[in-house]
Amino acid sequence: MAEELVLDIKNLVVHYVTEDADVHAVNGIDIAIGKKRTLGLVGETGAGKTTTALSILNLVPNPPGVIKSGEIYLEGKDVLKMSPSDLEKMRGNDVAMIFQDPMTALNPVMTVGDQIGESIAIHQNLSKKDAFEKAKEMLKMVGIAESRAYDYPHQFSGGMKQRVVIAIALACSPQLLIADEPTTALDVTIQAQVLELMKQLIRDKEMSMLLITHDLGVVAEVCEDVAVMYAGRIVEKGTVDDVFNHMRHPYTEGLFDSLPNLKERGEELVPIKGLMPDPSDLPPGCAFAPRCPYAADVCSKGVPPLTAVDGSPTHFVACSAYSNPEFSLRGNKDGR
């Protein structure tokens, strides 16, 4: 993947500094997204997914959030070194974000047409009237009748609101779309519709996307690449085929085993024992070691770096167990 990168995050570290504790939300991650690629960032609550996304827009609430170190390049420019006015130009124009909850992301006292038109008017220097016309086109693109541009958010259902949010995000044809759990608040049939729409728009507009989700099914549906995040670090990344069919990290395996299988019924689920560690008090070494069924002594000595799997150019795993060449996951033995 030596092609042009739309997003290149290098060694990002974000802490939330409070009076009581120093919360290590993101602990040195590297993410790169190429042109027209879609990366899924997967992890459970508190893994640092959303903090990573907010960092890209330099929107981490400060205080208490502090970007301790790292570089975030958007098409070659470091976001963390941009001036406030450059940031304003970038947000919404080069990079747009879709938030999880469409119910609260919209302004209740503005018509949806005005809300979509707002960013168009600002970034493309159009008059309000022209922007509104463009907003109508955007609505049509996401499958809502143009006449509804005059309606207010409360007149729309959840799925429709999320379509409006997508229209706002895509209004200025950004290079990169960040979608933070875009369908989590929606019903499955509506989720299927919205995912289908997002897939099609991304293809048509030749955008790249960072999709944040906890749902492995959604990743399989939409993404080409996937990164699994745990306690502020990426523990495994690769193409979806690498990670879904040849998984290497015990946490990734744990996530898959926890899912109720639609084909088999009745047998006991295999949950991951214990809980995610407190990010203000991470264990030394691998953060997953205390929950890991394969944990050995080496695991508590130093954080394992992301290492290529068998020299693969795409597939990386951060697990000390692979220092033993004999090691393999249970699931990989019986061929998943």
Partner 1 sequence: MAGKTILEVQNLTKFFNTPGGQLHAVDGVSFTIEEGRTLGIVGESGCGKSTTGRTILKLLEPTGGKILFDGQDITGYTRKQMRPLRQEMQMVFQDPFSSLDPRQTVMQLISEPITEHKLLKSKSDIEDRTLELMRTVGLADRYMNVYPHELDGGRRQRIGIARALAVNPKLIVCDEPVSALDVSIQAQILNLLKKLQADLGLTYIFITHDLSVVKYFSDDIAVMYLGQMVEKAPSDLLFQNPLHPYTKALLSAIPLPVVGKEKPKRQLIRGEITSPVNLPDECRFWKRCDCTQDKCRNGNPGLREVEPNHFVACSCV
Q: Which residues bind partner 1 (CB under 8 A)?
A: 44-45, 157-160, 187-193, 195-196, 214-221, 240-241, 244-245, 254-262, 265-266, 268-272, 275
SS3 (DSSP) at 317: strand
C-beta separation of 239 from 311 below 8 A: no
Closer by beta carbon to partner 1, 271 or else 305: 271
Q: Which two tokens stand for residue 314?
A: 């795409």
Nearest distance from C-beta of residue 57 to partner 1, angstroms:
25
Minimum CB separation of residue 326 from partner 1 in Å reads 27
102 three-class SS = helix
CB nearer partner 1, residue 42 or residue 120: 42
- Closest approach of partner 1 to the CB of residue 232, in Å: 16
Q: How far is the CB of 335 from partner 1 (least distance, A)?
A: 12
Shortest separation between residue 245's beta carbon and partner 1, angstroms: 6
Sequence-separated (6 or more) residues with CB below 8 Å from residue 206? 35, 36
Q: Which CB, 86 or 196, lies closer to partner 1?
A: 196
Give residues with Cβ within 8 angstroms of 195, minimum separation 6: 183, 218, 221, 222
By beta-carbon proximity to partner 1, the closer residue of 121 and 287 is 287
**Beta bridge pairs of residue 209:** 38, 177
Helix axis angle for 158-170 and 188-205, nearest 10°, is 10
Q: Which is nearer to partner 1, 4 or 334 (CB)?
A: 334
Least distance to partner 1 from the beta carbon of 183, Å?
9
Judged by beta carbon, residue 64 or residue 274, the one nearer partner 1 is 274
Q: Give, in degrees to the nearest 5, the angle at Cα 97 between 95 and 98.
A: 150
Closest CB to partner 1 among residues 1, 275 = 275
Residues 103, 107, 108, 112: is their CA dihedral positive or negative?
negative
Q: Is residue 238 a contact partner of residue 312, using CB atoms and an 8 Å limit?
A: yes
- Calculate the dihedral angle through the C-alpha atoms of 192, 193, 198, 199, rounding to the nearest 10 degrees: 60
Q: Min. distance of Cβ 277 from partner 1 in angstroms?
A: 12
> What gap in Å lies between CA 178 and CA 175, rounded to an integer?
10
